[in-house]
Amino acid sequence: MESDSINVDPLELDKFSQLAHRWWDPNSEFKPLHEINPLRLNYIDRLTHLAGKTVLDVGCGGGILSESMAERGAAVTGIDLGDKALKVAKLHLLESGKQVNYRKVAVEELAREQPHHYDVVTCMEMLEHVPSPASTVKACAQLAKPGGWVFFSTINRNPKSYLFAVIGAEYVLNLLPRGTHDYAKFIKPSELARMARDAGLDVEEIIGMTYNPITKVYALGSDSNVNYIMAFRA
């Protein structure tokens, strides 16, 4: 990898590596990802019609979203820099019988290798874990075909998101291990939109993702104060 392309925080990779063996346990630390997956999958599928599309899933981890997009008929490549997560993702294919091409490669490096290659690029719950989200956004934009779709999901930065995503999820409800999220790395939609515009993407849509601690149900809707997904066109 070229030195200008290293955009990774080893401590962040380590956090996920230590838990990687539990990735497909729906009652583990990854429970929130399992529970939001049908929502984000249906959202992406509704906008892009995944069947027959070439899709890149950036920061794919154990492959929860990658596999589900493959199940909808997309030709999916999943990339991550975490060895253990990728190992788990590959092993799970043996169990599920799905087909996903998993690779350990930095998104910036893949952008040089395969510019304008994918119909759809997804990068979910990852931007808040990298040193330079703008670099990731730029690489994702370069990987999409002209007119292709690019999706990012991340966490907004405001008092409510601090309360819900850090205090609530990590300390009160124990949905996530303590230290999963660093408030300073949360990204406002306006900041993500600026990074994307600088990378040549057009904002298409923003949708909020909420968690109701009473009913324990996640939903998509207009409230993007905490978690949100943004859809762009290249």
Ligand X SMILES: C[S@@+](CC[C@H](N)C(=O)[O-])C[C@H]1O[C@@H](n2cnc3c(N)ncnc32)[C@H](O)[C@@H]1O
- Minimum CB–partner distance for residue 233 and ligand X (Å): 21
User: Whose Cβ is closer to ligand X: residue 8's or residue 144's?
Assistant: 8
- Minimum CB–partner distance for residue 59 and ligand X (Å): 3
User: Whose Cβ is closer to ligand X: residue 106's or residue 201's?
Assistant: 106
Which of 91, 73, 112 is CA-nearest to residue 20? 91
Three-state DSSP state, 75: strand
Q: How far apart are CA 136 and CA 19, in angstroms?
A: 24
Burial pattern 72-104, b for ≥16 Cβ within 10 A else e, equals bebbbbbbbbbebbbbbbeebbeeeebebebee
In the bound state, the residue with its beta carbon closest to ligand X is 61
Name the binding residues: 40, 59, 80, 124
Name the binding residues for S-adenosyl-L-methionine: 40, 59, 80, 124
Amino acid at 81: L
Instruction: Tell me which residues touch ligand X (CB under 6 A).
Output: 7-8, 12-13, 16, 33, 59-61, 64-65, 80-82, 85, 106, 124-126, 129-130
User: Whose Cβ is closer to ligand X: residue 67's or residue 119's?
Assistant: 67
Q: How far apart are CA 18 and CA 119, in angstroms?
A: 33
- Minimum CB–partner distance for residue 227 and ligand X (Å): 11
- Minimum CB–partner distance for residue 58 and ligand X (Å): 7
